[in-house]
Amino acid sequence: MPDRDTPAHRPPAATPKSGRTADGRFAPGCSGNPAGRQRAALAAEMDARGVVDGPAVYAVVRGAAVGGDMRAAALLLDRWWPV
């Protein structure tokens, strides 16, 4: 049985700065997005801009949809009735 610790079976070593292998791929255990998605920062920014009144926003979009605005109707339907 062949030895699994031969150079042909080992993943290429990552460079410490980039986390990529010699062929440009991300090495195992090295994320391509180490910071991740910053949901808390996005929520804080939306709060700072005043986008916290969800029911009021919904009422405006719903009113536009009822009034015949197809983009508003599509927006609501995409959220409530995804296909």
Asked whether the beta carbons of 61 and 75 are under 8 A apart, the reply is: yes
C-alpha 55/C-alpha 64 separation (Å) is 14
Q: What is the pLDDT along the chain (83 residues), one digit of tens a residue?
A: 555 556 555 555 655 567 788 888 888 877 777 677 777 777 777 777 766 677 888 899 999 999 999 999 999 999 888 76
What's the whole-model pTM score? 0.40
Distance CA 5, CA 32 (A): 26
Cα angle at 77 between 73 and 81, to 5 degrees?
165
Asked if 44 and 27 touch (Cβ cutoff 8 Å), the reply is no
Instruction: List the one residue out of 41, 37, 19 whose CA is nearest residue 28.
Output: 19
